[in-house]
Amino acid sequence: MGIEKVEDPKDQSKPVKKFAQTFINLYEVFRFIGRFFKEAFLPPYEFKELMRQCYEIGYRSALLISTTGFITGLVFTKQSRPSLSEFGATSWLPSLVGIALLRTLAPLLTGLIAAGKVGSSIGAELGSMKVSEQIDAMEVSATNPFKFLVSTRVMAATITMPILTFYTAMVGMLGALLNVSVNEGTSATTFFQSALESITFLDIIASTFKAILFGFTIAIVGCYQGYNSSKGTEGVGKAANSSVVTAMFLIFIEEVVCVQIFSLFNS
């Protein structure tokens, strides 16, 4: 005689709880974003901290962005030459590199590097402050920790990312120029004239918009993970790791959406 297995009601409620928790997490995220827009544009303004964060974000990423951008421009040009040479169109290399860097490679590379370098730093820094109760101490001392810690970092990343993006494009152009000069003997003046004449105002607008969006995403994710990290040193590591993974995932999603939107204007 078989024994019937009785299902535990708790097991049946687990999917429902997970589904409900997902919506609760989404609510908390949008509430956090809404609080940023509320706090960022109301006095008092933390201009000194904002400038310090702009310097920290730009300085912290400059060396890695310079190296990556230069190598990307060099390698992209080298890999594109064989395909163009089959059609005798190596003279199109400057235009190809200029369009590719400004439209896609520069914003995406800068966003991914900043997500790994800046996003993890923000998540770990705010997470450690949360664990050591420094944020609670700021509230007791009549200081608005959200405005001082979150608003300044998000605004600094949003301001700095477009600058870093165009800097990446410029450094990538220099890498491409080196390759083209060695192989074709093209002068710098001719190279930049060919590269820039194919770039439209819409390309600049699209690149700037994506850079602003990526900067906002990186900072808001890092601040959210750090500001809401769990107690203990383990929570700091989780906050830093989650900041990088989530920001990179969202950057790829935003890149796909932006490409689809701006392709409508190009058509």
pLDDT score recorded for residue 24 = 81
pLDDT score recorded for residue 10 = 54
pLDDT score recorded for residue 56 = 87
Q: Distance (Å, rounded) from C-alpha 192 to C-alpha 180?
A: 11
What is the residue-averaged pLDDT of the chain? 84
130-176 pLDDT, tens digit per residue, is 888 787 787 777 778 888 888 999 999 999 999 999 999 999 999 99
Whether 225 has a pLDDT exceeding 60, the answer reads yes
pLDDT-derived band at 253, boundaries 50, 70, 90: very high
pLDDT score recorded for residue 12 = 56
Question: What phi and psi values does residue 207 have, to the nearest 5 degrees?
Answer: -65, -40
**What share of the chain in percent tops pLDDT 70?**
93
Which residue in 158, 155, 150 sits closest to 129, CA to CA? 150
Q: Distance (Å, rounded) from C-alpha 10 to C-alpha 183?
A: 69
Confidence (pTM): 0.87
Which residue carries 């819409």 as its tokens? 202
16-60 pLDDT, tens digit per residue, is 777 677 778 788 888 888 888 888 888 877 889 899 999 988 887
